[in-house]
Amino acid sequence: MSRLAVIGTGVIGNGWIARALAQGWDVVAFDPDPKAPARTQAFIDNAWSSLTQLGLAPDASPERLTFADTIEKAVNGADLIQENVPERLPLKQEILAAIDAAASPNVIIGSSTSGFKPTDLQQQCQQAPGRVIVAHPFNPVYLLPLVELVGGKATRPIQIASAQGLYQALAMRPLVVRREIEGHIADRLMEALWREALHLVNDGVATTEEIDAAVVYGCGLRWPLMGTFLTFHLAGGEPGMRHMLEQFGPALKLPWTKLEAPELTDELIDKVVEGCEHQAAGRSVATLDRRRDDFLVELLEVVQKYWPEAEGLQGRI
* CA–CA gap between residue 142 and residue 153 (Å, rounded): 30
Query: Please, which residues have CB within 8 angstroms of residue 75's CB and are 6 or more apart in sequence?
Result: 5, 7, 28, 81, 99, 102, 103, 107
Beta-bridged to residue 134, according to DSSP, are 111, 150
> Is residue 183 marked as binding?
no
> Is residue 152 marked as binding?
no
Residue (of 23, 27, 26) closest to 14 by Cα position: 27
Sign of the CA dihedral running 171, 142, 56, 29? positive
> Is residue 9 marked as binding?
yes
> Is residue 10 marked as binding?
yes
Instruction: Determine how β-strand 108-111 pairs with β-strand 26-30.
Output: unpaired
Number of Cβ within a 10 Å radius of residue 13: 24
* CA–CA gap between residue 167 and residue 169 (Å, rounded): 5
Residue (of 122, 82, 128) closest to 105 by Cα position: 128
Residue 189's SS3 state is: helix
> Is residue 12 marked as binding?
yes
> Is residue 165 marked as binding?
no
* CA–CA gap between residue 135 and residue 151 (Å, rounded): 9
**Residues 225 and 211 sit within 8 Å (Cβ to Cβ):** no
Residue stretches of the annotated binding site for NAD(+): 8-13
Residue stretches of the annotated binding site: 8-13
